[in-house]
């Protein structure tokens, strides 16, 4: 099944692809690779999910934030590639969690994005290398920020 068809089957709603909030490009394509800059959790109404995991937010809320970042990244890919079917595989994901110093479950938060990509492209192509780290703060107090590299056709 195609990635675009899978989005429909899963009933997922992609938010608007965000415009840059600084001096950078949301996506850079070179050869057969698409590099996505750090994305935040943009909701369907254009607002951002905010808060610090371990303080304002619990683990599940952090997971939902990372899932929303994944949807935002899908929106950027579709807007720039024309179709998610052009993505061959996920190469690398870097997930950053706005959290308290003692919060231990960064990977569990970033699973919200990784599990989404696995649903869209399958276990073989939707799961890549990954790092998940905690941060003392993120821009605009967003709860998660994720960047990724994709192989494209």
User: Could you report the per-residue pLDDT of 19-76, keeping only the tens digit for each?
Assistant: 998 999 999 999 999 999 999 999 999 999 999 999 999 999 999 999 999 999 999 9
Give kind and range of the element (H or E) at residue 144: strand 144-152
pTM exceeds cut of 0.95:
yes
What the block records as the tokens of 8 is 């429909």
How many other CB atoms sit within 10 Å of the CB of residue 118?
A: 17
| Cα dihedral value 32, 117, 17, 12, nearest 10 | 140
Fold of domain 1-11+25-38+49-118: 60s Ribosomal Protein L30; Chain: A; (3.30.1330)
How would you list the strands of the sheet with 27-30, edge to edge? 27-30, 33-39, 144-152, 87-98, 129-135
pLDDT at 1: 81
- CA nearest to 133, candidates 95, 101, 99: 95
């Amino acid at each position: 099944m195609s990635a675009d068809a899978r989005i429909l089957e899963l009933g997922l709603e992609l938010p608007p692809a965000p415009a840059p909030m600084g001096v950078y490009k949301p996506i850079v394509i070179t050869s057969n690779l698409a590099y996505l800059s750090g994305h935040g959790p943009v909701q369907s109404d254009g607002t951002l999910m905010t808060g610090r995991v371990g303080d304002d937010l619990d683990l599940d809320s952090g997971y939902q934030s990372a899932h929303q970042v994944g949807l935002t990244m899908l929106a950027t890919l579709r807007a720039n590639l024309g179709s998610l079917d052009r993505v061959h595989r996920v190469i690398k994901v870097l997930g950053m969690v706005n959290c308290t110093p003692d919060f231990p479950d960064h990977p569990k938060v970033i699973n919200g994005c990784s599990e989404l990509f696995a649903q869209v492209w399958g276990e073989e192509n939707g799961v890549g290398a990954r790092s998940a780290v905690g941060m003392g703060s993120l821009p605009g107090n967003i709860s998660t920020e994720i960047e990724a590299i994709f192989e494209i056709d």
